[in-house]
């Protein structure tokens, strides 16, 4: 189904400087999506159902914690606003008891 939307930013072509950063974030997204049984497209999509949102929040949390990316950088990679990333990271921290 075509929606006329641009392809998700994490999958867009990148400059040489961004390649390592995006490839590591993409690997996080792939690992989280396979662990939760959702496709990468569902993880990066606009769906707000819990089955998609929680893995997405986890992936954003891992990017912030392990890759030390800023909320703005994560937002660009996942096609979200930085405030959405802030909420996602906080929600996941709360869920795991941090």
- pLDDT per position as a tens digit, 25-73: 999 999 999 999 999 999 999 999 999 999 999 999 999 999 999 999 9
Average pLDDT, the chain: 88
How confident is the model at residue 1, as a pLDDT?
45
Residues 69 and 25 sit within 8 Å (Cβ to Cβ): yes
- State yes or no: pLDDT of 94 exceeds 80: yes
Domain membership flag for residue 46:
yes
> Looking at residues 1-27, what average pLDDT do you find?
65
The pTM of the full predicted model, rounded to 2 decimals, is 0.82
Count of the separate structural domains present in the chain? 1
**Residue 67 lies in domain:** 19-96
Domain membership flag for residue 70:
yes
């Amino acid at each position: 189904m075509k929606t006329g939307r641009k392809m998700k930013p994490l999958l867009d072509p990148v400059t040489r400087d961004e390649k390592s950063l995006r490839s590591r974030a993409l690997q996080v997204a792939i690992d989280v999506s396979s662990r939760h049984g959702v496709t990468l497209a569902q993880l990066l999509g606009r769906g707000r159902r819990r089955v998609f949102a929680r893995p997405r929040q986890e992936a954003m949390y891992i990017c912030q914690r392990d890759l030390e990316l800023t909320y703005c950088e994560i937002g660009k990679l996942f096609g979200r606003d930085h405030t959405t990333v802030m909420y996602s990271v906080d929600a996941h921290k709360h869920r795991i008891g941090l």
